[in-house]
């Protein structure tokens, strides 16, 4: 025990920056999971900046289209709104469980378009009019039954309360 504390003191006090570096490494490993390289650059205003942004995201200049400047996404590319379920299931993806390839840009709103979430490109089984008709028909039918059966309440059958002045009463005791 004394040897371990001696080595720790020697390591910390021999170089005053060693403690700072150790804490910095631990802090980085546990708290800072954001890489500065993930941050999008400034909105591209010139053709040269647009070409550099397209190259940065691995796209051609023709297919690169940034979000509008007022949205605050910088030079991040505007990708089509296609969810995970609408992507080709037979393509050999690098990460097949997410249907993504390595170094492929993610959608800016990827938390919405996950495999278990909303997919705007999905073809619906029933039209929205069909869904609303069934929903409102079910709710309306339930409400109509409630209004119609409001006067026909039923409950647990209970006899009238027995009072001494109402007549003979029977005791069930063994006398």
Q: What is the pLDDT of residues 132-174, one digit of tens each?
A: 999 999 999 999 999 999 888 777 777 777 777 777 766 677 6
- State the Cα–Cα distance between residues 25 and 19, nearest whole angstrom: 10
Query: Three-state DSSP class for 120?
Result: coil
Compare 132 and 16 and report the one with higher pLDDT.
132
- State the Cα–Cα distance between residues 60 and 53, nearest whole angstrom: 10
- State the Cα–Cα distance between residues 34 and 32, nearest whole angstrom: 6
Neighbouring residues of 91: CB distance < 8 A, sequence distance ≥ 6: 99
pLDDT at residue 105, as a whole number: 86
pTM for the full model? 0.54
Give the ranges where 31-165 is alpha helix by DSSP (H).
47-56, 128-148
Q: Which two tokens stand for residue 12?
A: 């910390």
- State the Cα–Cα distance between residues 101 and 116, nearest whole angstrom: 19
């Amino acid at each position: 025990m004394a040897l371990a504390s001696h080595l720790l003191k020697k390591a910390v006090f021999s170089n005053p920056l060693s403690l700072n570096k150790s804490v910095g490494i631990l802090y980085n490993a546990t708290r800072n999971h954001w890489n500065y390289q993930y941050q999008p650059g400034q909105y591209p205003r010139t053709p040269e900046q647009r070409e550099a942004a397209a190259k940065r995201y691995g796209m051609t200049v023709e297919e690169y289209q940034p979000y509008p400047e007022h949205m605050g996404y910088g030079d991040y590319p505007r990708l089509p709104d296609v969810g995970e379920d609408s992507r080709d299931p037979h393509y050999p993806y690098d990460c097949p469980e997410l249907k993504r390839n390595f170094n492929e840009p993610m959608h800016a709103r990827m938390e919405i378009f996950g495999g278990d979430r909303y997919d705007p490109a999905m073809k619906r089984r029933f039209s929205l009019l069909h869904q609303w008709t069934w929903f409102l028909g079910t709710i309306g039918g339930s409400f109509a039954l409630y209004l119609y059966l409001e006067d026909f309440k039923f409950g647990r059958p209970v006899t009238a309360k027995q009072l001494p002045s109402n007549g003979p009463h029977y005791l069930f005791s063994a006398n």
